[in-house]
A and B are shown apart, each in its own frame.
Chain A
């Protein structure tokens, strides 16, 4: 018998059950890490550091999670906030906007396609990259993605459309002929 997500959350809150929390991490790690890899334009090491911070923050604040919400949406929100905090710190320390470099050497598991998508994502503006990363995130609707990014749905769609136009040009080699 499988235990529901709500039961796992209750176990973590009431008993500080580490096994239950590990199960929750296993269920969501792939989607959270995938979104963070898109946000960081394929920097797998940075994305995993941010994902780790995401789950640790989630563990600390699990009591504030509303049972009527989706855990995945809540985790994406935390992940995006971690990413924004990281960007801000980096900007403050360097005094420059950070434009992510596509990961080339560290992505051992990445196919050519993933590498090319990462490189193309790195060429987008921050808001376009974030809009695309969250719009195409597993299990996330447009209104949910817009809420996480704190922007109206119309603005989200504009960023997605502009970003996709750029991606269409960068990834033209993958277009069917």
Chain B
């Protein structure tokens, strides 16, 4: 009896096996999570900013007017206004996290 070629199994296992797509790609794309639309992103952003501002107002006791004053006196931050500066920074932090949430 002749010894089988040592390569026959390699040939068999290496044989290219093309699998037809047959709708597979379409099924995958359909199952992809849909990206949040701009309205939802905007909503998340507004909500996060609002919550950040509200939380900061409660925590610092600063009024919305004080925050607006702090905004308008941006160049005076180095000379004082610790409470209102903190409020503004809190608002900015709220916006920052809101943007991050919107990106996700």
Interface centre among A16, A25, A37, A172 (most CB of B within 10 A): A25
Q: How many A-B residue pairs have CB under 8 A?
A: 70
Query: Any chain B CB within 8 A of the CB of A29?
Result: yes
Interface residues on A, range: 20 to 34
CB–CB B19/A167 < 8 A: no
CB-CB under 8 A from B31, the residues of chain A are: 52, 56
Interface residues of B in 1-50 (CB under 8 A from A): 1-2, 4-5, 8-9, 12-14, 16-21, 24-29, 31-33, 35
Query: Any chain B CB within 8 A of the CB of A65?
Result: no
CB-CB under 8 A from A175, the residues of chain B are: 4-5, 8-9
CB–CB A164/B17 < 8 A: no
CB–CB B8/A34 < 8 A: no
CB–CB A22/B19 < 8 A: no
Option from A21, A25, A34 in Cβ contact (under 8 Å) with B17: A34
Interface residues on B, range: 20 to 34
CB–CB A25/B29 < 8 A: yes
Interface residues of A in 49-63 (CB under 8 A from B): 51-52, 55-56, 59-60
Nearest opposing residue in chain B for A110, CB measure:
B17
Query: Any chain B CB within 8 A of the CB of A33?
Result: yes
CB–CB A176/B5 < 8 A: yes
CB–CB B18/A25 < 8 A: no
Option from B2, B21, B29 in Cβ contact (under 8 Å) with A18: B29
CB–CB B9/A55 < 8 A: no
Distance, CA A21 to CA B30, complexed state (A): 12
CB-CB under 8 A from A51, the residues of chain B are: 24
Query: Any chain B CB within 8 A of the CB of A96?
Result: no
CB-CB under 8 A from B29, the residues of chain A are: 18, 21-22, 25
CB–CB A25/B9 < 8 A: no
Distance, CA A45 to CA B31, complexed state (A): 16
Option from A30, A56, A177 in Cβ contact (under 8 Å) with B18: A30
CB–CB B12/A18 < 8 A: no
CB–CB A29/B5 < 8 A: no
Nearest opposing residue in chain A for B14, CB measure:
A136
Closest CB-CB distance, A57 to chain B, in whole Å?
11
Known: A56-B31, A175-B4. 11 other contacts (CB 8 A): A18-B32, A22-B29, A26-B25, A29-B28, A33-B19, A48-B24, A113-B12, A136-B13, A171-B12, A172-B4, A176-B8
- Residues of chain A touching chain B, judged by Cβ–Cβ distance below 8 Å, are 16, 18, 21-22, 25-26, 29-30, 33-34, 37, 48, 51-52, 55-56, 59-60, 109, 113-114, 117, 132, 136, 138, 164, 167-168, 171-172, 174-177
